[in-house]
Amino acid sequence: MNTFVLHGPHDLRDETRPEPKPGAADVLIDIRRAGICGSDVHYYEHFQIGQFIPQAPLILGHEFAGVVTEVGSTVTTVELGDRVTVEPSIECGNCAQCRAGRYNLCTNLRFIGTAATIPHIDGGFAERVVVPASHCYRIPDALDFGAGALVEPMAVGAQAVRRAGPVAGARVLITGGGTIGQMVLAMVHAQGATDITMADPADYAQTFAMQHGATATVDPTKDGIAQELFADGGYDLVFEASGAPAALSFAYETAARGARVVQIGTQPASVTLPANLVMSKELTVFGSFRYAHVYPTVLAMMSSGRVDVGDMISAVYPFSEMQTAMERAVAKERVVKVQVERS
């Protein structure tokens, strides 16, 4: 089968590899649509993310949807021909966190299409991929494969909102108008938030947000804007979705007294923050890591139309043009999500 294999920074090669075979509890999926995540871009540019450095050439891609073409001998949950999307984090099911139901915090977690697992588990930038049947979710008839491949990043937003608690009636700020920030916006808007501000310096991110439920936008780099927003009452709920240290400081500074702050973006190892604001404002700070138990909710919200994801797909390239698609994702110009497709 054809695959795109990352060998080093900016070294993405079109290679032929043997088709994988599913184990007893696995299925083989024929990939129809795959999204390029910010982590894929980071691997492409730097060949690492933090402590995760590929130990061998790697097939990236963890946002994908396709058709089941082969099932293992013990599989009963999906069938040949099913259209499915995949939850790419594979928990052990036995550790304390898994037993507590927080399987996204599994101490033995494996993840498809990243260097976080050794040996690496190849991802969806290939014609076909093997995944555990237990991590497949049927795509409702109302959704196409593009929407199916968006379930994974939307699940990140859903997890963050789930961690935050009720959003209806809250004054909400989202810092970072990239993919995840826009996914959070879609989720809080669908769940009843009516006063939502998107903070991002890019005009495109601001415009897109205003077209999809935001009631205001701000440029967080403007001098004095954090103090101005706090003086205006601040925000009851702040989601930090950019991963920039300045944005996390901005979140603390603009949060109202007694507010909730949810950190989604990955920060550098050492960050200077106005931590005394957590004390003096009595802020409640949540971390939100990947997702757990939210795929069914996301699929239901998308298929019912409560969350409209159609124009979140900024560009779709043929699978053969993976290199071009990756460069478009790297450029980040007028982009929420770039995907590749196979017919």
pLDDT of residue 82: 98
Round to whole Å and give the CA distance between 193 and 267.
Answer: 27
| Res 328 pLDDT > 90 | yes
Q: Is 304 among the domain residues?
A: no
Apex CA 132: angle with CA 111 and CA 29, to 5°? 100
Q: What is the pLDDT of residues 104-133, one digit of tens each?
A: 999 999 999 999 888 999 999 999 999 999
Q: What is the dihedral of CA 252, 258, 259, 263, to 10 degrees?
A: 60
Kindly state the average pLDDT of the residues 267-293: 96
The pLDDT confidence band at residue 234, using thresholds 50, 70 and 90, is very high
Apex CA 179: angle with CA 62 and CA 244, to 5°? 105
pLDDT of residue 308: 87
Round to whole Å and give the CA distance between 5 and 159.
Answer: 30
The one-letter amino acid code at 226 reads A
The pLDDT confidence band at residue 290, using thresholds 50, 70 and 90, is very high
Q: What is the pLDDT of residues 158-199, one digit of tens each?
A: 999 999 999 999 999 999 999 999 999 999 999 999 999 999
Q: Is 300 among the domain residues?
A: no
β-sheet bridge partners, residue 70:
28
Helices (H), 179-280: 179-190, 203-211, 225-231, 245-254, 276-280
Kindly state the average pLDDT of the residues 23-51: 96
Q: Which long-range contacts (CB under 8 A, 24 or more apart) does 90-96 make?
A: 90/121, 90/132, 90/135
pLDDT of residue 269: 84
Q: What percent of the chain has pLDDT over 90?
A: 95
Q: Compare 268 and 326 and report the one with higher pLDDT.
A: 326
Phi, psi dihedrals of residue 252, rounded to the nearest 5°: -65, -40
pTM value surpassing 0.85: yes
Asked whether residue 165 falls in the same domain as residue 265, the answer is yes
Whose tokens are 């909102």? That residue is 161
Q: Is 303 among the domain residues?
A: no
Q: Is 281 among the domain residues?
A: yes
Consecutive H or E run containing 151: helix 145-164
Q: How far is CA 86 from the centre of its chain?
A: 13
| Res 220 pLDDT > 90 | yes
The pLDDT confidence band at residue 276, using thresholds 50, 70 and 90, is very high
Round to whole Å and give the CA distance between 169 and 188.
Answer: 10
The one-letter amino acid code at 222 reads K
Round to whole Å and give the CA distance between 3 and 22.
Answer: 17
Q: How many helices (H) and strands (E) does the chain have?
A: 10, 17
Asked whether residue 56 falls in the same domain as residue 128, the answer is yes
Per the structure, the complete domain to which residue 213 belongs is given by 155-287
| Res 291 pLDDT > 90 | yes
Q: Is 147 among the domain residues?
A: no
Q: Is 226 helix (H, G, I), strand (E, B) or coil?
A: helix
Kindly state the average pLDDT of the residues 253-277: 96
pLDDT of residue 117: 86
Q: What percent of the chain has pLDDT over 70?
A: 100
Asked whether residue 169 falls in the same domain as residue 224, the answer is yes
pLDDT of residue 133: 98
Tokens (6 digits) for 74: 């013990």
Helices (H), 66-126: 96-99
Q: Is 294 among the domain residues?
A: no
Q: Is 293 among the domain residues?
A: no
Q: How far is CA 319 from the centre of its chain?
A: 21
Kindly state the average pLDDT of the residues 140-150: 97
Q: Is 37 among the domain residues?
A: yes
Kindly state the average pLDDT of the residues 137-150: 97
β-sheet bridge partners, residue 132:
26
Mean pLDDT of the chain: 97
Asked whether residue 116 falls in the same domain as residue 180, the answer is no
Residue closest to 179 by CA, chosen among 187, 171, 169:
187
Asked whether residue 203 falls in the same domain as residue 118, the answer is no
Round to whole Å and give the CA distance between 300 and 283.
Answer: 32
Q: Is 121 helix (H, G, I), strand (E, B) or coil?
A: strand
Tokens (6 digits) for 101: 């139901």
Q: Cβ(29)–Cβ(129) under 8 Å? A: yes
Asked whether residue 121 falls in the same domain as residue 175, the answer is no
Kindly state the average pLDDT of the residues 302-331: 96
| Res 310 pLDDT > 90 | no
Whose tokens are 């603009």? That residue is 254
Give the CATH number, domain containing residue 112. Answer: 3.90.180.10
Apex CA 39: angle with CA 222 and CA 213, to 5°? 50
Q: How far is CA 152 from the centre of its chain?
A: 6
| Res 218 pLDDT > 90 | yes
Apex CA 138: angle with CA 209 and CA 89, to 5°? 70
The pLDDT confidence band at residue 25, using thresholds 50, 70 and 90, is very high
Q: Cβ(137)–Cβ(86) under 8 Å? A: yes
Asked whether residue 113 falls in the same domain as residue 18, the answer is yes
| Res 343 pLDDT > 90 | no
| Res 338 pLDDT > 90 | yes
